[in-house]
Chains A and B, each alone.
Chain A
Amino acid sequence: MASLKDLRNRISSVKATQKITKAMQMVAASKLRRAQVAVEAARPYAERMESVLANLAGDVTSCAPPLLAGNGRDDAHLLVVCTAERGLCGAFNSTIVRLAREHIARLHGQEKTVKILCVGKKGYDQLRRQYEKDIIDLIELRAVRQIGFANGDEIGRKIIKLFEDGAFDVATLFFSRYKSVIAQIPTAMQLIPAQIPASATSREAGKGGAQAVYEYEPPGQDEILSTLLPRNISVQMFRALLENAASEQGARMSAMDSATRNAGDMIRKQTMQYNRSRQAMITKELIEIISGAEAL
């Protein structure tokens, strides 16, 4: 059996761990609040963008640009997998990677080419084991403290450049949508060809063609679309990064919360054991003294 000193050491080390997890939880909580504000602030733009795009797409004639209609092929797929840069956030990274993996397996089943663009180191580490040769790039955002639009824009441009070079035909974005502190939903979203939100198109249909015809300035919607579509991809990317950041902090907060609670349970159990063996030792010593005195 462990000696009293061993038990004491064990308790103090669990206490130290508990302090760390507690601190991490509190840090995550304050970061989460900031991330949540950022997500909410970015929402109006993305929503307006969607409705503008839906208005435009409703008007589009036969020669839609490839970013909207696709390039007619469906052979090479690009998977943009956004994960965190750090671990210790529960199943956050694994759930995104699992979703991506299922998608890859399905695409492989259909004998399509798969290319992977990793955003965030943790996803890269997990995917590298199986799909090393398919990963074309890794974008690290470790140095970024607060995600700005420039980060999303940069990745968006990279994706568009790859598309224009003919590296892939369909792009899908994987990230975790932030619903609440305890619920983060891993999501797959098609980036290219752009998906026009169903709600917006149905709204238009509901009006039964009553939607007034737009005038365009500069004339011709092509020029506007050719600026708007790349922008839309950057916006979606930016939004995914923000949602991911909030989800990560949420996941970390709940993971650290349960770790702190676990440590508390462990401390309680071990303290009980420590007290028991201390009392047993005292009793034993008393018995020894008493039986010694009786023998005299």
Chain B
Amino acid sequence: MATFHFELVSPEKLLFSGDVEAVVAPGADGQFTVLKDHAPVMAMLKPGVVEITETPSKKEKLFVRGGFADVSQDGFTILAEHAIPLAELDAAKIDADIKDVREDIADAKTDEARRAASEKLAQLQEVKAALGL
């Protein structure tokens, strides 16, 4: 299958860079898969799992806590807010995130900020449930 260049970066480091066959990303409006020659898209991501298919037998899953996806002619780049391999993820880490977001809700001064934070909380809880943690 045709491959394209994919990169996953978080502010602290470059987590993945290489040629892949397909990537499934958790878009804010729903999950989407990117294959070679995808139309250029700029999308926001919600907390969720990015699934990278390098070859049909070699897959990798990483948890991202929101970010941006940039599909261009040069390839696909995810700017993640925070990303860790799924294998290293445990309930405690997600719970810490959930606690952070709860604090954000408590601190929020505008309705807009509160709404955004509540949305994020719901998404995090969804991910937690989906992973069975």
Contacts and interface: CB of A to CB of B under 8 A. Distances in A.
A55 B42 contact: yes
A238 B14 CA distance: 15
A41 B41 contact: no
A259 interface: no
A147 to B, nearest CB: 10
B86 to A, nearest CB: 21
Interface stretch (B49-57, B72-80, B88-96, B121-129): B72-80
A238 B70 contact: no
B9 A228 contact: no
B85 interface: no
Contacts of B82: 149
Contacts of B24: none
Contacts of A224: 42-44, 68
B12 A41 contact: yes
B12 A215 contact: no
B47 interface: no
A205 B103 CA distance: 44
A217 B27 contact: yes
A73 interface: no
Given A48-B79, A52-B79, A55-B70, A214 B12 contact: no
Contacts of A41: 12-14
Contacts of A42: 11-13
Contact of B42 (A45, A49, A215, A231): A215
A44 interface: yes
A213 interface: yes
A285 interface: no
Interface residues of A, number: 28
Interface of B, helix, strand, loop or mixed by DSSP: strand
Given A48-B77, A52-B79, A215 B40 contact: yes
B98 interface: no
B97 interface: no
A146 to B, nearest CB: 10
B3 interface: no
A52 B9 contact: no
Interface string A205-216: 000000011111
B106 interface: no
A223 B82 CA distance: 20
A55 B79 CA distance: 14
A227 interface: yes
Interface of B: 7, 9-14, 17, 27-29, 32, 39-44, 68, 70, 72-73, 77, 79, 81-82
Given A49-B79, A218-B44, 7 more contacts: A45-B13, A48-B7, A212-B72, A216-B41, A218-B28, A218-B43, A231-B81
28 contacts: A38-B12, A41-B13, A41-B14, A42-B12, A42-B13, A44-B9, A44-B17, A45-B10, A48-B9, A52-B42, A52-B79, A55-B72, A149-B12, A212-B39, A212-B72, A215-B42, A216-B41, A216-B42, A216-B43, A217-B28, A217-B41, A217-B42, A217-B43, A224-B42, A224-B43, A224-B44, A228-B68, A238-B11
